[in-house]
């Protein structure tokens, strides 16, 4: 059985990754590998669906066990992808999307050179800030931290295979679908 394709979607908080990945997954029937995190769940998020919500101690135990394909500490919380979430699906010929931070994306590319790295960003920093504030889920301190981190994350765009500028959700979804369809036709 041929292996599946692994798509890594990264970019600053507020770039629209989650919204776009959710829509594209539904439209194309693609699995999203569920990430683990130590942050608190947002309203409506479900353990095992949106994330595996772990305590810091649980997460650090899994690090010691070598259970993560990639992990990083971002905005004072751990985020990571369990190896089992990806390897089983790719080996069964499935398309898998990882929606992870930039640090993690580069870690995955080092382990899976055939992974397709896709970087999302907003047209400018003003729109990024407006989107972060529009969520109404984060404190001012968290928004400022996310903005500061975004400037650093934007410097990694050149290390990614493809960049999508998210002007609108519809356009960004269409761009991502086109990229996936092109890659699948080459497989």
Residues of the binding site for ATP = 11-18
Enumerate residues 6+ apart whose C-beta is below 8 A from 139: none
Which helix H or strand E contains 164, and what residues bound it?
Answer: strand 162-165
C-alpha 76/C-alpha 65 separation (Å) is: 22
C-beta neighbour count of 137 within 10 angstroms? 11
Residue ranges of the binding site = 11-18
């Amino acid at each position: 059985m041929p292996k599946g394709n692994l798509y890594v979607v990264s970019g600053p908080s507020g770039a629209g990754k989650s919204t776009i990945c959710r829509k594209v997954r539904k439209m194309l029937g693609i699995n999203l590998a569920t990430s683990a995190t130590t942050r608190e769940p947002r309203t409506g998020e479900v353990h095992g669906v949106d994330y595996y919500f772990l305590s810091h101690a649980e997460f650090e135990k899994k690090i010691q066990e070598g259970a993560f394909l990639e992990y990083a500490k971002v905005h004072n919380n751990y985020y990571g992808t369990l190896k089992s979430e990806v390897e089983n699906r790719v080996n069964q010929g499935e398309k898998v999307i990882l929606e992870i931070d930039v640090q993690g994306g580069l870690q995955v590319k080092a382990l899976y050179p055939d992974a397709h790295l896709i970087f999302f960003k907003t047209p400018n920093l003003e729109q990024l800030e407006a989107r972060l504030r529009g969520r109404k889920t984060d404190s001012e301190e968290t928004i400022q931290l996310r903005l500061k981190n975004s400037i650093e994350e934007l410097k990694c765009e050149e290390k990614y295979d493809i960049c999508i500028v998210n002007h609108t959700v519809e356009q960004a979804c269409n761009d991502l679908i086109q990229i996936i369809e092109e890659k699948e036709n080459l497989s």
